[in-house]
Chain A
Amino acid sequence: MFEIFTRMADWLAYELPGLSPTSKAGTALHFFIEDSSKIFVLLLVMIYLIALVRASLNVERVRNYLAGRHRGFGYLMGSGFGAITPFCSCSSIPVFLGFTSAGIPVGITMSFLLTSPLINEVAVLLLLSLLGWKFTLLYVLIGMTIGMIGGLVLDALKAERWLQDFAARALEQGQARATDSDNSADNHQPVMNLQQRHQFARDETLEIFGRVWKWVIIGVGLGAALHGFVPDNWIEQHLGGGQWWSVPAAVLLGIPLYSNATGVIPVMESLINHGLPAGTTLAFCMSTVAASFPEFILLKRVMRLRLLALVFFMLLIAFTLVGWVFNLLTPFI
């Protein structure tokens, strides 16, 4: 199904400019054309189709659903909704407060917020087309697990102690209300007809595409540069053995770098093709996507430094563990 993009890239990168398929410039250009054209077409078609289906799902619904749920189930649902609910990272503070003031425990809210940047429809599509279904499935399972365990740990440590005062008060009031009455069902959500769904899906496609196309170009560009200009065996020789220290090093390198999932997946593809072990790659990429300094600075307005530091170290440890376990398991996958 994706062969057409390979053939187009053959033609545009090798035949037209007369570059050799064994030359560095030729392979870099080929990688760039093949991946960027494939990703753009996939994004346009699939975002539209997915948006059509989930048009009526939004953060308000999720909040109403999660409010007053049983805890154990809550982490799973929080993380699951985090993966499928559309929401822009610039809304993470209002979403955090909206959930909190509905009395939802901090851990469940954080399951939602931690999973959300790691897993979304664009990331899953890219993984499927570039790295195959097995890798995608593992990525999704790991992403959700990190979200759930992160939430559980935060609640076990009673993280609500370290909220900013107004947020802590909102949580208390919310929980008092939640026990008073059964949670208010989403009664003001109108049913959508096909026309409205189409409109939503069209706007969503344009909006997401407008936001991510630059990331695709940057990510594929970096991937192509790696492909074409890093000596063939360099990565494999130096890091190919899955040396234990390479995983925490990759995470530490990844955290200050910020990218969203769309930009980083083409880089992952290129790193893996060059012999970087899958676990190390995954650890690096998840840390660039999930933890970013701008996001932490925003969260500072609702969380005290202690809680922020806790979340930060928790992610650091989680991604390192993921990398190690994945590297150990790779021979069996």
Chain B
Amino acid sequence: MKQIKVLGTGCSKCSKAADIIEKIAAELRQPVTVTKETSPEVIMQYQVMRTPAVVIDDQLVHSGSIPLRADIESWLK
């Protein structure tokens, strides 16, 4: 099961990013756990400066915006 973390200090775009990833995962019937990471210290460790950012199984895959549907689908496959 993929562990997905959405990094962000709590802005509305970050929750939207987490919601859309969960929604698409459900559509594709992919089992995932999506968590929101708001700790500045953890975000710093991933060297992310633009939020929301997405980390899948500890790999940073995206940063700076709500990800596009096509990107999310490709990460989940």
How close is A57's CB to chain B, nearest CB, in angstroms?
Answer: 13
Contacts of B51 in A (CB 8 A): 90-91, 94
Contact of B44 among A63, A101, A207 (CB under 8 A): A101
Are A94 and B41 within 8 A (Cβ)? no
Contacts of B9 in A (CB 8 A): 90-91, 93-94, 298, 301
Q: List residues of B (1-45) whose CB comes within 8 Å of A's CBs.
A: 8-11, 13-14, 40-41, 43-44
Per DSSP, chain B at the interface is loop
Contacts of B64 in A (CB 8 A): 58
Contacts of A301 in B (CB 8 A): 9, 40
Contacts of B44 in A (CB 8 A): 94, 97-98, 101, 166, 170
Interface status of B55 (Cβ within 8 A of chain A): no
Are B49 and A91 within 8 A (Cβ)? yes
Are A97 and B40 within 8 A (Cβ)? yes
How close is A209's CB to chain B, nearest CB, in angstroms?
Answer: 15
- The number of chain B residues touching the other chain, given as a range, is 10 to 19
Interface status of A302 (Cβ within 8 A of chain B): yes
Total interface residues on A, CB under 8 Å, equals 22
Known A90-B9, A90-B13, A298-B9; judge A59-B50 contact (CB<8 A).
yes
Q: What is the CA–CA distance of A142 and B2 in the complex, to the nearest angstrom?
A: 50
Contact of A59 among B8, B13, B43, B49 (CB under 8 A): B49
Are B11 and A90 within 8 A (Cβ)? yes
Known A58-B50, A63-B49; judge A94-B13 contact (CB<8 A).
no
Interface status of B47 (Cβ within 8 A of chain A): yes
Contacts of B49 in A (CB 8 A): 59-60, 63, 91, 94-95, 97-98
Contact mask A61-83 → B, CB, 8 Å, 1/0?
00100000000000000000000
Q: What is the CA–CA distance of A187 and B50 in the complex, to the nearest angstrom?
A: 19
Contacts of B48 in A (CB 8 A): 94, 98
Contact mask A130-161 → B, CB, 8 Å, 1/0?
00000000000000000000000000000000
Q: What is the CA–CA distance of A157 and B66 in the complex, to the nearest angstrom?
A: 39
**Which residue of the partner chain A has the closest CB to B66?**
A207
Q: What is the CA–CA distance of A37 and B43 in the complex, to the nearest angstrom?
A: 41
Binding site for A on B (CB under 8 A): 8-11, 13-14, 40-41, 43-44, 47-51, 64-65
Closest 7 CB pairs of A and B: A90-B11, A98-B49, A97-B44, A166-B41, A59-B49, A93-B9, A94-B49
| A-B contact list, 20 entries, CB within 8 Å | A58-B50, A87-B50, A90-B8, A90-B13, A90-B14, A90-B51, A91-B49, A93-B9, A93-B43, A94-B9, A94-B40, A94-B50, A94-B51, A95-B50, A97-B40, A97-B44, A98-B48, A101-B47, A298-B9, A302-B40
